[in-house]
Structure 1
Amino acid sequence: MSTAELGLPVDVPSTALFTDRYELTMLQAALRSGAAGRRSVFEAFTRRLPEGRRYGVVAGTGRVLDAVENFRFDAPVLDFLRREHVVDEETLQWLSGYRFTGDIWGYPEGEVYFPGSPILRVEGSFAEAVVLETVILSILNHDSAIAAAASRMAVAAAGRPLVEMGARRTHELAAVAASRAAFVGGFRTSSNLAAGYRYGIPTVGTSAHAFTLVHDTERDAFTAQVESLGRGTTLLVDTYDVATAVRAAVDIAGPELGAVRIDSGDLLLLAHRVRQQLDDLGAKNTRIVVTSDLDEYAIASLAAAPVDSYGVGTSLVTGSGQPTCSMVYKLVARAGDDGELVPVAKKSLGGKTSIGGRKWAARRVDEDGVAVAEVVGSGPVPGDLADRQLLVPLVRGGEVVGREPLDAARLRHIEARASLPVSATQLSRGEPVLPTEVL
């Protein structure tokens, strides 16, 4: 299913230069040596989870598919490479006709992963697979970090809605990707209109403190907002005095007022006071939204407060202290002289060793269906794991076959997280909740 078939806008530019120079210089040397056409298998994985995290979340798969589909070297790109003397004319000629024609398998978006999980497997010639390294890692490392933070926040929120509102705290393009990843991880809405346009994520938003300050009085601001947006709007009540603002809000909008937002102060104390005041004023159905530098720990601390939803910005779009997943993209197999795949792996000091071979992955569960281990192997798949395999086809013969609606990834993550041991949802630092067994 293509982006157009999903009813989403098709305006993704070429991704060919979202790469490092050495990808192309390797290509040039491989073309000269004859190794460029050698069948190869690359895998994206992480050797460890970010410190203290108990599981990872696969996010960005759909963006990876878009990036591979749009990895094209058009005339302006080729002119740039020629002008900067990045590669020679023979390599430029090869790049001018570049189309990925291989296969990609991977964990479906929204699935959880652990150290050593072969999150993405790219198979094709060395030349066509190696140039995808940087863009694939750029997407997976960023989006999976955001989705993992979002998942932890969703656990802490315990079913209360979460609003992504971090666009002003990161790069403008990263903000759109972060909104998408947050949605996969459990957020319901975003303040970012570009995310709504590109990915169909529901958007929300009403007003900031500037709107109140530009009016002569707070009552004037509230009146203007209610007359413009209706009684179901959300009024920001902490510009001056919260109690006075809540009283004015209900007086102007009536008990039909949709929500009030608190963006500063002792949120726990204020939430209880505002709830009591709203109830006393007859606005029993008016919701309370809290914002103000929240993270999963702050959200958890408000579990007993009468809060209806949370807005999260900075902590979310920076991965709540873990902005990358440290994923790598390694050659694990290549064709030998007889054409058969030969396992290859980096062997070095410092914990940067890899395991060679084209790998499969499966998740072992107990009699209650609770996951007990991540199993990774390069040989035959044991019979008891045959129907528990995790990798699915994403690209076959250069054609995208694994694109899906974003809602599917979101729902998959909820199910995957629910299948983990209960300790997976603890916010305290700990080891990965599942061991990785290598067969």
Structure 2
Amino acid sequence: MSNPFGIVPSEAILEGTATDAYFERTRETLEYAGRNPTVVAEVTADQFPTGSFEVFTGVHDVATLFEGRSVDVDALSDGQLFDGGPVLRIEGSYLEFAELETSLLGFLSQPSGFATAALEARLAAPDCSIFSFGARHVHPSIASTVERAALVAGLDGFSHVAAGKILGRAAGGTMPHALLFCFGEGNQADAWEAFDEAVPADVPRIALADTFWDEVSESLLAAETLGDRLDGVRLDTTGSRRGDFRHIAREVRWELDARGYDDVEIFCSGGLDPDAVRSLRDVADGFGVGSHITGADSVDFSLDIVEIEGEPISKRGKLSGVKDVYRTGDGGHHVALASEPGPDEGRPLLEALVRDGEVVREFDLEAARERCLSDADVVGFDG
């Protein structure tokens, strides 16, 4: 089978057939009528600032989508935070990009939602390590999209191996409960020792310590078993058995310290959201966050024509005319007509992405990450 999992192929996206049917009907109608006006279209989530910032990402895929097409595209930078107004603007003949709208919005909406949720987790514990553990909750075909969005938002790593190969980053992770099950209750030490002997030296020795016995007992056994080779213990206690997770983590920390294992770190995972991370950040050293990221709502972007043949136009409820957006001196987000002066000390955020089909911007994941974290500080992002 050439497509065993029924995944929409890249060719369909680039050709414009990964689209909603009514765009095909639109093309048929406009070609029949001999109409193909020059338009300016903008992608927005909110027309005016709402005071609630979100992370913009996915723009690298949009650049690929428009490469080779006779249009000009401007967009925010990868990792930029925004609040109202356009995040992306297209100018060209409408039929040059009409069918691309569906894929364009998909490339932006879901990754931006993932990145915004990941940023909430990142800022919940700025001094702790946080990893993305959510790839198992999405279709495998978009695992790298999840993990890239998490990295843009400042997370320290992720767990998905294939995504790591795409992104040029090594996936992280140590052991699941299944490994302990395969050795059986009472043989946890054998499992940890086998792991220590089998895996490469650069893999952290973090023992899962909540499989058969209580967290304190297994944590102490892991410390006694691996000694100085143990980097940390992971507490992945299920919500149905957890009780007061903070108390459990504090107890583990206390008992490890009391026996001289103060250099053994505590890593927590299992359905954690930013509130849970905040409650644990002073007693844990690291976190795995999954469903909070992958369960995030997509940013509700839409694309609307705002100018046609040089004249402003809009549907009801949307704002006509070509617009620019600015970061103001006080960290605000300002929307204005492009024909009008921007605010004093305002920095325009829309920058050239594609010019007559040529991608004119380079993409750097580390630069996007730095931009996201810096901008979050400037605008006072708190989720």
Q: TM-score, normalising length from structure 1?
A: 0.78
Specify the alignment match of 2:4 in structure 1: none
Whether the aligned pair in 2 keeps the contact of 1:170 and 1:317 (CA below 8 Å) is yes
Offset, 1:119: 0.2
Amino acid at match of 1:324: S
What is the aligned partner in structure 2 of residue 314 from structure 1?
291
Provide, for residues 87-125 of structure 1, a one-character-per-residue CA deviation record: whole Å limited to 9, x for no partner: xxxxxxxxxxxx41211101101111112x210101111
The residue that corresponds to 2:370 in the other structure is 411
Letter in 2 for 1:284: D
Aligned to 2:178: 210
1:17-166 equivalences under 5 Å are 17-36=17-36, 38-47=37-46, 54-69=52-67, 99-115=68-84, 117-166=85-134
Equivalent pair of 1:180/1:201 in contact (CA under 8 Å): no
Distance 1:394 1:269, change over 3 A: same
- Quote how far apart the aligned CAs of 1:12 are: 5.5
- 8 Å CA contact 1:154–1:162 kept in 2: the answer is yes
- 2-structure distance, mates of 1:316, 1:139: 16
Q: What's 2:197 paired with?
A: 227
Shift in Å, 1:14: 4.6
Secondary structure of the 1:121 match is strand
Q: Does 2:142 match 1:174?
A: yes
* CA distance in 1: counterparts of 2:35 and 2:75, whole angstroms: 25
Asked if 2 retains the 8 angstrom alpha-carbon contact of 1:103 and 1:396, the reply is yes
Who is 2:234 aligned against? Answer: 261
What does residue 356 of structure 1 align with? Answer: 320
Provide the C-alpha distance between the structure 1 equivalents of 2:165 and 2:29, rounded to a whole number of angstroms: 42
- Residue 249 (str. 1) matches residue 222 (str. 2): yes
Find the counterpart in structure 2 of residue 346 from structure 1.
315
Is 1:236–2:208 an aligned residue pair? yes
In structure 2, distance between residues paired with 1:53 and 1:287: 38
Residue 382 (structure 1) shift: 3.5
The total of aligned residue pairs comes to: 363
- In the alignment, the residues of structure 2 paired with residue 262 and residue 148 of structure 1 have an alpha-carbon distance, to the nearest angstrom, of 26
- Per the TM alignment, residue 146 of structure 1 is displaced from its structure 2 partner at its CA by 0.8
Structure 1 partner of 2:6: none
Aligned residue identity for 1:159: D
- Give how far 1:48 is off: 6.8
Residue number in structure 1 paired with 2:301: 327
Is the 8 Å Cα contact of residues 205 and 230 (structure 2) preserved in structure 1?
yes
SS at match of 1:285: coil
Change (3 A) 1:220 1:383: closer
Partner of 1:94: none
- Please name the residue that 1:96 is paired with: none
Contiguous gaps of at least 5 residues in structure 1: 1-10, 70-98, 336-340, 348-352, 428-439
> What is the letter of the counterpart of residue 420 of structure 1?
V
Seq. identity, %: 28
Structure 1: distance between partners of 2:124 and 2:320: 38
Partner of 2:356: 397
Aligned to 1:41, the other structure's residue is in SS state strand
C-alpha contact (below 8 Å) 2:121/2:289 kept by paired residues: no
CA RMSD of aligned residues (A): 2.2
User: 2:22 & 2:348 partners in 1: Cα distance?
Assistant: 34
Cα drift, residue 247 of structure 1: 2.1
The 2-side partners of 1:379 and 1:48 are apart by 17
1:247/1:14 CA distance change after superposition, 3 Å: same
Q: Which amino acid aligns with 2:372?
A: H
Q: Shift of residue 13 of structure 1?
A: 4.7
Q: Distance in 2 between matches of 1:54 and 1:358?
A: 23
Which amino acid is 2:60 matched to?
G
**Could you tell me which of 263, 267, 280 is aligned with 1:289?**
267
Q: Deviations over 1:377-427 (max 9, x none)?
A: 232324735x61000111111011123111111110111111114xx32x5
CA distance in 2, matches of 1:243, 1:49: 52
What displacement does 1:222 show?
Answer: 0.9
The SS at the match of 1:132 is: helix
> Which stretch of structure 1 is more off in the superposition, 214-223 or 275-284?
275-284
**Quick one: distance in 1 between partners of 2:148 and 2:110?**
11
Alignment partners' CA distance in 2, 1:381 and 1:374: 12
The 8 Å contact of residues 257 and 283 in structure 1, kept in 2 or not, is answered as no
Indicate yes or no: 2:339 matched with 1:379: yes
Change (3 A) 1:48 1:272: farther
Q: Distance in 1 between matches of 2:299 and 2:77?
A: 17
- SS for the counterpart of 1:255 is helix
Please say if residues 209 and 235 of structure 2, whose CA atoms lie closer than 8 Å, have aligned partners that are also in contact.
yes
**What is the DSSP-based 3-state SS (H/G/I as helix, E as strand, rest coil) of the residue aligned with 1:180?**
helix
- The structure-2 alpha-carbon separation of the partners of 1:53 and 1:156, relative to structure 1 and needing over 3 Å to count, comes to farther
Cα distance per residue 1:230-276 (max 9 Å; x no partner): 58411100001222211221122113311110001232112111112
Alpha-carbon spacing, 1:48–1:171, altered in 2? closer, same or farther (3 Å): farther
**1:296–1:29: structure 2 CA closer, same or farther, 3 Å change rule?**
same
Say if 1:151 and 1:263 are closer, same or farther in 2 by CA, change over 3 A: same
Give the superposition deviation at 1:208: 0.3
Q: Helix, strand or coil: the match of 2:336?
A: strand
